[in-house]
Every structure is written in C-alpha cells, then in structure tokens.
Amino acid sequence: MRDDHRPLAVFDLDGTLADTGHRQYHLEGARRDWNAFFAAAADDPPLPEGVRLVLDSADECEIGYLTGRPERCRRGTLAWLAEHGLPEGKLYMRRNDDRRPARHTKLDVLKRLGREREVRMLVDDDELVCDAAERAGFAVVRADWGAVSPALVDAQEGQGRT
C-alpha cells in the first residue's frame, strides 16, 4: 500500500540493483544489439549491496525505481524486481523514443517527484546522473559496487539508450 507521507527513496536498476556485466558485450562495436541487451536483463543477477540498501530503505521510505530502460521493458523489469524480492514501488522508465542522456531524463523525473514530496535519496551508479542530482539539491548515494563498461557509459550518456 502506498503511503505518500513517507519520504521517497529512488533506486536506479542497471549497475545499482542489477548486475549487467553479462550483457554489456551487446553494446560493444559498431553494431550494438539493443534488443539482445534488453532481453538479457531477465538474467541479471542482483547486486547484494544495492539489494541490501533498498531493503533497509523500505523501513522508512516508500521505494521508487528510476531507470533509463525504455518503457517497452516494463513487464520484464517488474518481473525481475518481484523475482528477486525487492519492495514494491513505482517504476519510472524512459519513453521508447526518448534518446536524451540519462542525466537529463532522470533529473526531470526527480524534479517532478521533488515538487510532490520529499525525495530522501537517489541511489545510482551513473556519475553524471549523480552529479546532476546533487547540483539540483538531491541527496545522492553513488552505487560504486557494480561493473560498468565504457560501452554502457556511452549508451547512457552518448546515445540515451539506457
């Protein structure tokens, strides 16, 4: 049950809660296979540090999930969250046609949420997203426990794909 009086803790997925290391090779080279990259997300192992933090945060906060994954991945993403016992929470996703860098798409959502209620923290692995959120006045936990390839960084910031 939603309790809009509790603060909101917002968690990224890829590289924060989900280990994408096994599928990042789909983004290497000139011909990136986005369909295969997103299809393989169902097999992401959870990252224990992120899972522990989201479970601990659920004691005091409502949980929200903010991802750069496109809307077409909603069903599989919700299934992954449930499969790994993560708390229920609203899932904020990128529009299928939105190719802006993650630091812009995610900050837009955070600002909208912040107008409606207290955002206790954002937990994300993308340094540029974290920097932008901090500049906007949000408390940030930098998820430095996942492996990020240069191809994934380019996908997040250069191509607006995740």
pTM over 0.75: yes
The pLDDT value given to residue 151:
62
d(CA 125, CA 133): 12
Q: CB–CB of 27/82 below 8 Å? A: no
Confidence category of residue 161, pLDDT binned at 50, 70, 90? low
The pLDDT value given to residue 9:
98
- pLDDT digits 0-9 by tens, 89-101: 999 999 999 888 9
The pLDDT value given to residue 1:
43
DSSP state of 72: G
- pLDDT digits 0-9 by tens, 109-139: 999 999 999 999 999 999 999 999 999 999 9
Residues 143-162 as b/e (b if ≥16 CB within 10 A, e otherwise) read: beebebeebbbebbbeebbb
Question: What is the four-CA torsion angle of 45, 47, 48, 54, rounded to 10 degrees?
Answer: -120
d(CA 162, CA 160): 6
Note the Cα 44 to chain centre separation in Å. 13
